[in-house]
Amino acid sequence: MGIEYELKFRATPEIQLAIGQAVQGEEVIYSMRTTYYDTPSGALSARKYTLRRRMENDISVCTLKAPVKGHGRGEWETHCE
């Protein structure tokens, strides 16, 4: 199990442009389509679990996220069909 820590930042369009200009390397574009799953009664979300399937450039990735002590979340991920 990995632990996920998520940080969110706010940046103006000017700052975003400056970051883009400062980054070196080839630009890679990912196409993502995400579907979230739960039981009809909402049992997963009631326990703060997240189950999703994400198509990333036609590759299916299934992820389960679960609460852990502290500020992170437990994360299990696998390629699925």
Give the pTM: 0.71
CB 51 within 8 A of CB 63: yes
What confidence tens digit (pLDDT) does each residue in 46-71 have?
Answer: 999 999 999 999 999 999 999 998 88
CB 38 within 8 A of CB 50: no
Coil/strand/helix, residue 44: helix
What confidence tens digit (pLDDT) does each residue in 26-43 have?
Answer: 888 889 999 999 999 999
